[in-house]
Structure 1
Amino acid sequence: MEATARKLDTAAFNRLPPHNVELERQLLGAILMNNETFYRVSDFLEASHFFFEAHRRIFEKTSQLVRAGKNASPITLKTFFAADEQIADLSVTQYLLRMAADATTIINAEDHGRTIFDLALRRSLIRIGEDMVNIAFDSPIEAPPKVQIEDAERRLYELAETGRYEGGFQAFSDALATAIDMAAAAYQRSGGLSGLATGLDDMDRLMGGLQRSDLVILAGRPAMGKTALATNIAYNVARNYRPGASPDGSPHAEDGGIVGFFSLEMSAEQLATRIIAEQAGVSSSLIRRGSIDAEQFDRIAAVAQEIQSLPLYIDQTGGISIGQLAARARRLKRQRGLDLLIVDYLQLLQGSGKRGENRVQEITEITTGLKALAKELDLPILALSQLSRQVESREDKRPQLSDLRESGSIEQDADVVMFVYREEYYLKSRKPKEGSEEFFKWQAEMETVAGVAEVIVGKQRHGPTGTVPLQFDAEVTRFSNLAREYHLPDRE
C-alpha cells in the first residue's frame, strides 16, 4: 500500500512544473530591444523567477547592465558567456539575436512579468509539497511531524507574504489620502490613538496605544500584577473590537482587535476566572471557593453573558518553543484574524535547542523571534517577563532596565519596556509595632500608596519614557485609571 502511494506521488511529481518559456523569451527580447521595458518589471521580477536556466542568466546580466546605466543588447550580453557556449542548439550570439529579432514591442510587459512571477510561485508551492512528502516518507528523527508541520506553515506563510508584486513609487496625492484615512481611523478609534487602545488612558497618552509590529515587554517581580495588567489590556482590546473591511475586501479592525493569549503558566479556566472577577468586581478566590451570595452570582452571570462572544483566544499549552508559538499565531491570524498577541511569560518559552544548555542564548533566540513575528504579522506583541532578585536588595525597589533577567537581548529587541511596581506591596511587609511613632508614619505612607500602582516606561523607541500611576484593586486584580490628576512624564 505504502509502495503504491509512493509510486503514485512520484509519478505526480515527475510532471513538468508549470512554466512558459515562450513568454520568457518575449519579455527578455522586448527588454533587449528597449531597455526601458526592464523598469516596468524590475520591482517584482527576479532572475530566480525564470524557469529556463539560460533565461535566468540573461535576465541577471541584463539587470546588472541596465542598473549600471549601460546598454543591454545581444552584442553587449554575449561577452558574459563563453565563446563556445550554446543555448537550445544555437550559439549564445545567435540565440540572443533571434530573441531580439522575434520580439515585438510588449505594451503589457508588466502583465507578462506577473505571469512569469505567478508561475514561479506555483513551482515554489510544488517544491514545498515535494519536501513535505519526502520528509514524511523518510521520517527523520530530527524532524518529527510537529516540527515538519511548523516548518511547512512557516514556508507557506513566507511565500504568501513575499508572493506579491505590489509596491513601487506612488503619487503624493495617494500617500496623502492614505494619511488622511489613517488620521480618520485614529479619530474614530478609542481614545483617538494611532495604536490599539489599552483602555488605560494615561498609559495610552504616553504610548499612543500599542503600535503595530512593536515588541512590548511588560516586566515585574512576582505579585506586582503583570498577568492582571495583561488580562485587563486583553479584555479592553477585545471588548472594543469593531470589525470592518479594507478597500481590497480583507478583514480589518476599525476599533479594538482580535486577541491571542498564550498563557504558559495559568490554565485557560484560571484566566477566564480572573477576567470574570475583574469585570464582575468579585474576588476570584471567592469564586473558586463558591463563597458568593446571590447578588454576586447574578453579577458573575451577567458578565459571563456579556463577554462570552469576545474575540479573545487562549492557548494554555505550557513549555512550547518559539517556533511552535509562531506557527500557532500564524494559524490564528489566517483562520480567525489577529490584532494583538500576548505571551505570559517569555521565560517559560523554549528555544529550538535543548533547554538549559545556554539560557542567555536561548532568551536571545526567543526575543529575536518574537520581534520578527511582530513585524511578520504586523501587530503588537505584549510579552511578560520576570525580573531578577537584585531588585529586592535595593532600598528603592522600583525596577530598572538592568533588572531584566538575561536582559541584554530583551532590552535590545524590545521597542517598549514597561515595569509594574506597587509600593504598597513592599510597604505592607514593613509594618512597625502598632502605637509607635514609626507606625503612625507608616500608616500615613500606606494611605498615600494604598491601591496605587505604577507603570514605569523605561524604554520607548519612538516616544517618551516616564511613569504612569494607575488604580489597582488587589481584591479583584483589576487595573484602572487613577481618579486623580496624573503627572506627565518627562520627555527624553
Structure 2
Amino acid sequence: MSVDPNGEGFIPELEQSLLGALLLGQGLARVRPIVRAEHFVEPIHQDIFGAICDAHERSGSHGVPLVAKLIPERVHMALKLRTDMNVLGYLSRMAADTVHGGSLIEKAAKAVVEQWARLNVAVHCEQIAIAARDPAADPSILGRQIGSAVEGVLSDVRGSGVRRSRFSIGQAAEAAIASARAAKEQGHGLTGLSWGLTDVNRLTGGMQRKDLILVGARPSMGKTSLLISSALATARAGHGIGILSMEMDAEKLTARALSDLSFNGHVQVPYASIIRGQLDDGQFAAVEEMGRRLDQLPIAIDEASGTTFDIRVKIETMMEQFERAGWPRLECLMVDHLGFVQPSAHYRGNRNNEVGEITRALKGYAKEYGLAIVLLSQLSRQLTQRDDKRPQLSDLRDSGNIEQDADVVVFLHREAYYLDRERATGDRETERVEKLAACQHQLEFIIAKQRNGPVTTVDLFCDMAFSAVRNGDRRSL
C-alpha cells in the first residue's frame, strides 16, 4: 500500500530524527527488529535506511560519508530537485539535528512504524469508503476486506517491540526456575491455570499460559461442560477468563454455569429446567443465589462468531474491560468451537489450509498476549464406525495442522453415551444395562498429545444434566 508523503498527516521529522540517530552510529541493532525500509513513508528515506543497513553489513559502520556513497544516483537527483540539497548535505543536516539517541532510539523507531500504520489505515478506510458508495457493494465483504487490511497493518505495530521475544539462555533459565519455585511453594505443582481437576492438574501442571490447548470430542461428550466447570474453577482461583461461545448463546451457556454451581449445593437445579423455566420456589431462590455468585467472577462471554482478526479484537477488548472493572487480568481464552471460526479469503475453499491459518493465529495470540487458549473442536464422524470409539489423533478433522500447532491435545469420551443408544436382547441386554450403570457418570479425559508431559487417560466424574465435571472419585472441586 503506497502512502503519499505529501499528503495530510505526514510528519517527515519523525523519519529524519531516526535516520539522523542512525547516521551518528547509534542503535541499528536495536532498531532493525522494529522498523523496515517500507515503514518510511518518504521514498528517499527508504533508500537512505537501506543504504545505512547496507553500509553496516559491508563494513560494520554506517556514518554519513560511507552511507552517502551507497545512495543510488536517482536519489541524488530527486533530492536536488525537491530540496536543492545534495545527499551529503541532507545526511549531515539530519545527523546534526537529531535529538534521539541511546535508549530513545527505539522510541523513535516505533514512532516511524506508528506513523506508517496510521497513514496506511487512513488510505484503506478511504478506499473502503469509496467502494461502500457503490449500491451493489456487499457490506459483509467490505467488512472482511477492511478487517484483513487493518490486521496486516496493525501486526507490524504489534511487532515493533510490544512484546519481548528475544531472551538470553540465562534469562530464560531464570524465568523457568522462578516458575518451578512458585509451583513448589504453592504445593500443588501448578505452573499454569487450574483445570479445577486434581489429577488433570497433576499430569499437566494446569492450563499453561502461551499454550494452545485443543479439546476434541464428538457431540454430547461433554466439551462445553468441561469448559464451564474449568472456567468457574479458574475464575474462583482469581484468574480472568474470556469465553467465545460461537455455538451456544450467552444465556444458555450461563444457564449451564448456574446449574454447575448448584450441583454442590443443597438445592440442585438441572440446566434444562433453568432454560425452560420449570423451577419451584426453592430452586428459583437457589438459581438467584448462584447468579449473585457468578456476578462476582471475572468471566466475560462473547457469543458472536468471526474471523481470527475478530478474535484478536475481542481479546484486546476483553483485556480493556477487565482492567476497567478492576478484575484480574485476562489469562485464559476459551473458544467454542473451531468450526465456527471463519477463515480469511486467502485460503477459502481449502479446508486444510483454512484450519491451519486459524490454529496458527490462535497459537500466535496465546504467545503474544500470554494467554492459555482452550479451543474446542468437533471430531470426525468416522470414529463412530469403530468398535472402540475412543478418539485418536487421526480423528481430528484436518489433523495435520491441528496436531502441529496445538501444544496439548485432549479428547473426551463417554462410553455411557453409546451404551445408552445400543439395543440388545437377552443376556447381551443385561450386560449392556450393567455396563451402563457402571459408567453412567464416567468421563475419560484422554491426553493424546502434550509437549511437556505424559500421554495418558484420566477418569473424571460428570453429570450431564447439571453440566458438571468433577474429579473422578469425588464430586467436589
- Compute the TM-score of the two structures, normalised by the length of structure 1: 0.77
Which amino acid in structure 1 is aligned with residue 120 of structure 2?
R
Residue 247 of structure 1 corresponds to: none
Residues 1:17 and 2:4 are matched in the alignment = no
After superposition, give the CA deviation of every residue in 1:365-411 in whole Å (9 maximum; x if it has no partner): 43333333333433122222212222121111111111123333333
Whether contact under 8 Å (1:132, 1:148) holds in the other structure is: no
Instruction: Give the alignment partner of residue 136 of structure 1, picking from 129, 134, 137.
Output: 129
Task: Report the alpha carbon displacement of residue 207 of structure 1 after superposing the two structures with TM.
Answer: 1.8
Residues 1:261 and 2:266 are matched in the alignment = no
Residue 385 of structure 1 corresponds to: 377
Residue 154 of structure 1 corresponds to: 151
Residue 218 of structure 1 corresponds to: 215
CA distance in 1, matches of 2:165, 2:350: 43
Whether contact under 8 Å (1:23, 1:116) holds in the other structure is: no
Whether contact under 8 Å (1:214, 1:380) holds in the other structure is: yes
After superposition, give the CA deviation of every residue in 1:125-181 in whole Å (9 maximum; x if it has no partner): 233234324422442636656436634763575355223378598788866665565
CA distance in 1, matches of 2:342, 2:28: 47
Whether contact under 8 Å (1:222, 1:386) holds in the other structure is: yes
Instruction: Give the alignment partner of residue 27 of structure 1, picking from 18, 21, 30.
Output: 21
Q: Aligned to 2:272, what secondary structure does the other structure show?
A: helix
CA distance in 1, matches of 2:8, 2:73: 34
Residues 1:57 and 2:75 are matched in the alignment = no
Q: Bigger CA drift: 55-64 or 207-216?
A: 55-64
Relative distance call for 1:160 and 1:482 in structure 2 (3 A) is same
Task: Report the alpha carbon displacement of residue 313 of structure 1 after superposing the two structures with TM.
Answer: 2.0
Residue 329 of structure 1 corresponds to: 315
Residue 302 of structure 1 corresponds to: 289
After superposition, give the CA deviation of every residue in 1:416-460 in whole Å (9 maximum; x if it has no partner): 221110122223334644xx5445544553454231110111122
Whether contact under 8 Å (2:411, 2:448) holds in the other structure is: yes
Instruction: Give the alignment partner of residue 115 of structure 2, picking from 104, 110, 122.
Output: 122
Residue 245 of structure 1 corresponds to: none
CA distance in 1, matches of 2:311, 2:47: 40
Residue 476 of structure 1 corresponds to: 466
After superposition, give the CA deviation of every residue in 1:90-138 in whole Å (9 maximum; x if it has no partner): 5546666x569x7599994442553354244234323323432442244
CA distance in 2, matches of 1:168, 1:458: 29
Residues 1:206 and 2:203 are matched in the alignment = yes
Which amino acid in structure 2 is aligned with residue 375 of structure 1?
K
Residues 1:403 and 2:400 are matched in the alignment = no
Instruction: Give the alignment partner of residue 372 of structure 1, picking from 339, 364, 372.
Output: 364
CA distance in 2, matches of 1:169, 1:394: 47
Give % identity.
31
CA distance in 1, matches of 2:128, 2:254: 40
1:209-358 mapped onto 2 (5 Å cutoff): 209-241=206-238, 256=239, 258-281=240-263, 282-317=269-304, 320-336=306-322, 338-353=330-345, 357-358=349-350
After superposition, give the CA deviation of every residue in 1:178-217 in whole Å (9 maximum; x if it has no partner): 5565445546779442222111121122222222232222
Relative distance call for 1:130 and 1:189 in structure 2 (3 A) is farther
Relative distance call for 1:186 and 1:129 in structure 2 (3 A) is farther
- Where do 5+ consecutive residues of structure 2 fail to align? 264-268, 323-328
Whether contact under 8 Å (2:117, 2:157) holds in the other structure is: no
Task: Report the alpha carbon displacement of residue 412 of structure 1 after superposing the two structures with TM.
Answer: 2.9
- Compute the TM-score of the two structures, normalised by the length of structure 2: 0.79
Task: Report the alpha carbon displacement of residue 474 of structure 1 after superposing the two structures with TM.
Answer: 2.9
CA distance in 2, matches of 1:290, 1:40: 62
Which amino acid in structure 2 is aligned with residue 426 of structure 1?
Y
Two-structure CA RMSD over aligned residues (Å)? 3.9
CA distance in 2, matches of 1:53, 1:265: 48
Give the structure with higher Rg (CA): 1
1:96-107 mapped onto 2 (5 Å cutoff): 98=92
Relative distance call for 1:169 and 1:128 in structure 2 (3 A) is closer
Which amino acid in structure 2 is aligned with residue 310 of structure 1?
L
Relative distance call for 1:18 and 1:151 in structure 2 (3 A) is farther
CA distance in 1, matches of 2:154, 2:318: 12
CA distance in 1, matches of 2:159, 2:196: 35
1:435-450 mapped onto 2 (5 Å cutoff): 436-439=426-429, 441-450=431-440
Relative distance call for 1:219 and 1:18 in structure 2 (3 A) is same
Q: Bigger CA drift: 292-301 or 464-473?
A: 292-301
CA distance in 1, matches of 2:143, 2:321: 19
Q: Bigger CA drift: 196-205 or 15-24?
A: 15-24
CA distance in 2, matches of 1:423, 1:325: 34
CA distance in 2, matches of 1:324, 1:62: 38
- Where do 5+ consecutive residues of structure 1 fail to align? 1-9, 242-255, 485-492
Task: Report the alpha carbon displacement of residue 479 of structure 1 after superposing the two structures with TM.
Answer: 0.8
Q: Aligned to 1:121, what secondary structure does the other structure show?
A: helix
Q: Aligned to 1:197, what secondary structure does the other structure show?
A: coil
CA distance in 2, matches of 1:168, 1:329: 20
Q: Aligned to 2:330, what secondary structure does the other structure show?
A: coil
Residues 1:456 and 2:446 are matched in the alignment = yes
Which amino acid in structure 2 is aligned with residue 472 of structure 1?
C
Q: Bigger CA drift: 438-447 or 335-344?
A: 438-447
Task: Report the alpha carbon displacement of residue 23 of structure 1 after superposing the two structures with TM.
Answer: 3.4
CA distance in 1, matches of 2:352, 2:165: 41
